[in-house]
Amino acid sequence: MKVMRHSRAQQFAAARAFTLIELILSIAIMAIVMIAMNAVFFSALHLRESTNRVIAESMPIEQTLEIIRRDLLNAVPPMSNGILSGSFKVGGDTSIGAGEPVDIEFYTATGVLRANEPWGDVQKVTYGLRQSANATARGRDLVRGVTRNLLASMTTQASDQWMLGGVESIEFSCYDGSQWRSYWDTTLTDTNLPSAVRVRLVISNPVDSTSRGRPVEIVVPIDSPSALSQTQ
């Protein structure tokens, strides 16, 4: 009787145990699941790093375009009898400093008023590309020149502000009401400000390879009275 009970107990224990094939299959399934989870995890990390790089690159561009937009929105129209208002030039042979070429030159009311400085809010600003100080860097540097002392008896040196590096090209176009023009000069034939200014910025080596060669574009409307009405 004891032998029969012992035999049944062994059979019951053998029925509850896993076979070697079952153990191998379960380990293989767990390995496949872990590989899939690992691939998803590293894909998520790669996507996060790529997103962070794109955001880190786009932030200086957005800040630069916002400064340009603010300057253009506050552009001061030319006045025949005004001292603190001057020309609005796009293209041509405009230069700042020691003959450095610029793409646009105009007067804007974006100067910061400080108690320890005698300057008003009107200042002359220029935007132009210059060779980068880093010889290995791709593209050129976008520089903003600012002149605060507009009543000086002699020509004063503009204060250069580095805005953005790695710029392949920047283009300013003026809208005269019917077409976009790459040249504008209120000291010659154009007596008033343009109706709008279009800015196209091309980055030489963007993080997103699909946007290489594609310009970042903004259009800034300029709402200002004509020089004739201001004189009157």
Q: What is the pLDDT of residues 36-47, one digit of tens each?
A: 888 888 888 777
Q: What is the pLDDT of residues 189-216, one digit of tens each?
A: 888 899 999 999 998 876 555 556 688 9
pLDDT for the residue 183:
92
In the predicted structure, residue 230 carries a pLDDT above the cut 50: no
Handedness of CA 203, 102, 194, 71 (dihedral sign): positive
For the purposes of burial, counting CB atoms within 10 Å of the CB of 72, is it exposed (0-12), middle (13-18) or buried (19 or more)? buried
Q: What is the pLDDT of residues 178-191, one digit of tens each?
A: 999 999 998 888 88
Could you tell me the residue ranges of all domains in the chain?
Answer: 2-52, 57-231
AA letter at 12: F
In the predicted structure, residue 21 carries a pLDDT above the cut 80: yes
pLDDT for the residue 184:
93
More confident residue, 149 or 84: 149
pLDDT for the residue 40:
86
Query: How far lies 4's CA from each of 12, 14, 97, 217, 224, in Å?
Result: 12, 15, 108, 90, 108
Q: How high is the mean pLDDT of the chain? A: 80
Cβ–Cβ contacts within 10 Å for residue 123, how many? 23
pLDDT for the residue 231:
40
